[in-house]
Structure 1
Amino acid sequence: MKFSKDIKRYTTYSGKSAVVMLLTQQGLWALFQYRFYNWIYNSKSPKIIKLPLLFVGVCHQKGVEMLTGITLPYSAQIGEGLYIGHHSGIIMNAGAIIGKNCNISQGVTIGVSGKGKYRGAPVIGDEVYIGANATLAGKIFIGNKVVVGANSLVIRDVSDGVTVLGVPAVEISKNDSSAYI
């Protein structure tokens, strides 16, 4: 069901058919493999069935990663309607959590960082736009309707409905992501 919402985001953005999007968009290829293996990962299947399938999933993920330049581990939590604007250079940690209807641009890293109780991966809210080459790292929370500007390094929590930019990223305006999503 979530994959159909992903496809809808792509067709709405482009005005092209789902078939064209499925044949031409590397972001959808990566999302398809993610959704399938995430479904297996979260299923209640016996381990004797689940583990071999997940091993195949890791191998398949590496193939899709080499083809598209997008890493979406099956254990990450990604809400429906993810839109990957351009392929390549997108790295996501297996512990990352992303809300609904988010946009991720090329070159984005969503990774683990920190020490001790601060070590972890980001939790990203709904309708967040992440600009090209941005890095979100550590056990941080990114609120809903946030815009993360291109080339930003986000290492602290971000409130709902703001735009952040810079290294390290700081709030630069109260403009939310409505114009981007």
Structure 2
Amino acid sequence: MNMFSQDIRKYKKYSGNKSAITLIITNQGLWALFVYRASNSIYKSKLPRIIKRILLVFAVICQKWIEIITGISLPYTSRIGAGFYIGHFGGIIINASAVIGVNCNISQGVTIGVSGREEKRGVPIIGNNVYIGTNAVIAGKINIGDNCVIGANSLVINSVEANKTVLGVPAVVINNNTSKDYI
């Protein structure tokens, strides 16, 4: 649960240093992250197979409940780095095979999913310190470099080099600004 404590630290920073208890009680993003972190730790554990499967059944039930009440889907098989921040709850879909680096922020309505055909079919790998704006879609076997900004309502279907800001449908590089001011 060390990663969850890093998530809480980031939420505290953005909330004006509210207490962890207040944040956990009032923030739907943290509810989803807690269930994800607990479920993911079971998934990665070296528990005996039968015990792991039983625990994962309960984990899936908890994840589905969180999905229903928050609109946030964080499958336990995805890989999400520490310091993850969900700016606003609702409409967030992360593919079960997605990889998201450390210290990333996402907004409401974000989809990180599978796309493409044949050898191009796949799921994004997102680097560290990436900011993803409202209603952005990142899809396909692509890489998003470290310190990138994905603008609101963008459709990202091509890889993005580190330290770039992209915007549009399909998204294109609009400048070399990094995510430093967003995260």
Once residues 95 and 166 of structure 1 are traced to their aligned partners in structure 2, the CA distance between those partners, rounded to angstroms, is 25
Say if 2:43 is the partner of 1:3: no
- Determine the C-alpha separation between the residues in 2 that align with 1:67 and 1:125: 29
1:89 aligns with 2:86: no
The CA deviation string for residues 9-58 of structure 1, in whole angstroms up to 9 with x for no partner, is 00011111111111111000000000000000000111110011111111
Aligned partner of residue 173 in structure 2, secondary structure: strand
Q: Name the TM-score, length of structure 2 as normaliser.
A: 0.98
Per the normalisation by structure 1, the TM-score is 0.99
Displacement of 1:111: 0.4
Q: Distance in 2 between matches of 1:93 and 1:158?
A: 19
Following superposition of structure 1 onto structure 2, how do residues 1-150 of structure 1 map, counting pairs within 5 Å? Answer: 1-15=2-16, 16-150=18-152
**For 1:5, what is the secondary structure of its paired residue?**
helix
Q: Partner of 1:101: helix, strand, or coil?
A: coil
CA distance in 2 between counterparts of 1:53 and 1:59 reads: 10
Provide structure 1 residue ranges, at least 5 long, that are not aligned to the other structure: none
Distance 2:81 2:125 in 1: 11
Instruction: Provide the rounded CA distance (Å) in 1 between the counterparts of 2:45 and 2:155.
Output: 35
Unmatched segments (≥5 aa) in structure 2: none
What number of residue pairs does the alignment pair up?
Answer: 181
Q: Deviations over 1:146-175 (max 9, x none)?
A: 000000000000000010000000000000
Counterpart Cα distance in 1 of 2:168 and 2:58: 39
Which amino acid in 1 is paired with 2:134?
A: A
The share of aligned pairs that are identical, in percent, is 61
Distance (whole Å) between structure 2 residues aligned to residue 172 and residue 159 of structure 1: 12
Residue 119 of structure 1 deviates from its aligned partner by 1.0
